[in-house]
């Protein structure tokens, strides 16, 4: 069976997908193990969630509130399709409230950041308090899709190529995220907004009472932020969308400058590693493997991510110990063949490496 593929930019909003470098039109493995409609992180019907391996069916991975750059907000406001109606209504309500509404875009509150930064590592996928307000509980879908930001398009709980997939999509996310930031800043400058904060994560340790309570900021603060656009925030967002619509790929390349070149080089490097077909010639068992014995002949092993364990037989589990980082894969296989033991296939070794159950010596912290 052929491997399912997708273009790197396949799920991006069209307004930004067309501005991405030509590299983003290349095909990569589709992350079929991370399905939103039938979440692979849901617990078994009769299972327990006490080990933290599963997400709540009412939350899934939507334990995150994105900062929406101005041009994507404008794109959604311009989207008159029925599928976008609920998302538009939710954005309209937030614009009316003025909380987090800036020329850069619509940003999550400082209160949300405090909660997320302090608790997400422990309750990700399980806390309703941190659930994205654009999430529709009755359908389990997102009301603002496809006007998502980079992280919503590139975060997966599981990767068909293991750690290499995680590293690749992280590099893609960094590039797109930088593009989103630069484009939002450009729109604010082009349209004459007095300020253009990048996001709610400004790093400030001072939080006003209105920010903590998630209510509208003082009118003076709003006026200082919006200047001549005060009261015309919706028009500003729509104009931002039009500004980006009129840009070319070369325009974005110039706006991103040297930082964009560096981020694109990272994507290229990670893409090459994603496409590797053979494991490194010298491997050793990882020391950080999480092990759960499931029965007489199977184990759940956790390598690069607690969300993406690998179930193996006892024979494969015992096999890991033979890889000591001193003997090559070839010599280990030859020794097993000589004593008439089963010989692991190159594909099995590649899979064990991708899950980082086997690693390259000297790269333990990769």
- Domain ranges in the chain are 5-274, 282-359
| pTM higher than the cut 0.75 | yes
What is the predicted pLDDT for the residue at 84? 93
Q: What is the pLDDT of residue 7?
A: 96
Q: Which residues pair with 328 in a beta bridge?
A: 282
At 18 the three-state DSSP class reads: coil
H/E run at residue 2: none
- Classify domain 282-359 by CATH number: 3.90.930
DSSP letter string over 132-152?
-TTEETTTTEETTTTS--HHH
Low-confidence spans in the chain with pLDDT less than 50: 1, 47-50, 199-203
C-alpha span between 86 and 97 (Å, rounded)? 17
Provide the pLDDT for residue 153. 93
What is the per-residue pLDDT for 37? 78
Q: Find tokens 């890991």 and name the residue.
A: 320
pLDDT at position 51, please? 53
* Helices and strands of the chain, counted as H and E runs: 13, 12
**Structure tokens given for 139:** 């359908």
pLDDT attached to residue 110 = 86
């Amino acid at each position: 069976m052929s491997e399912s593929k997708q273009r790197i930019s396949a799920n991006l909003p069209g307004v930004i997908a067309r501005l991405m470098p030509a590299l983003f039109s290349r095909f990569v493995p589709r992350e079929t193990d991370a399905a939103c409609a039938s979440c692979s992180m849901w617990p078994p019907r009769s299972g327990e969630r006490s080990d933290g391996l599963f997400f709540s069916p009412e939350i899934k991975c939507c334990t995150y509130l994105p900062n929406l750059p101005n041009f994507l907000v404008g794109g959604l406001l311009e989207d008159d399709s029925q599928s976008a109606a609920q998302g538009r209504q939710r954005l309209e309500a937030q614009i009316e409230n003025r909380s987090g509404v800036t020329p850069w875009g619509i940003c999550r509150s400082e209160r949300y950041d405090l909660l997320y930064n302090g608790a997400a590592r422990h309750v990700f996928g399980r806390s309703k308090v941190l659930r994205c307000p654009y999430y529709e509980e009755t359908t389990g879908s997102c009301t603002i899709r496809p006007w998502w930001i980079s992280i919503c398009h590139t975060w997966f709980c599981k990767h068909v190529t293991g750690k290499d997939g995680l590293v690749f999509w992280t590099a893609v996310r960094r590039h797109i995220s930088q593009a989103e930031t630069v484009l939002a800043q450009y729109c604010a400058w082009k349209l004459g907004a007095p300020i253009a904060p990048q996001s709610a994560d400004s790093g400030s340790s001072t939080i006003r009472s209105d920010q903590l309570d998630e209510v509208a900021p003082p009118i003076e603060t709003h006026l200082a932020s919006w200047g001549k656009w005060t009261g015309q925030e919706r028009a500003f967002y729509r104009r931002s969308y039009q500004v980006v619509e009129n840009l070319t790929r070369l325009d974005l390349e110039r706006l991103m400058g040297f930082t964009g070149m560096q981020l694109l080089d990272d994507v290229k490097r990670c893409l090459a590693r994603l496409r590797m077909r053979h494991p490194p010639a010298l491997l050793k068992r990882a020391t950080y493997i999480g092990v759960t014995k499931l029965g007489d002949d199977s184990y759940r092993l956790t390598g690069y991510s607690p969300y993406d364990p690998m179930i193996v037989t006892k024979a494969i589990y015992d096999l890991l110990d033979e890889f000591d980082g001193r003997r090559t894969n070839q010599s280990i296989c030859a020794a097993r063949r000589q004593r008439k033991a089963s010989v692991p296939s190159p594909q099995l070794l590649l899979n064990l490496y991708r899950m980082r159950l086997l690693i390259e010596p000297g790269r333990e912290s990769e």
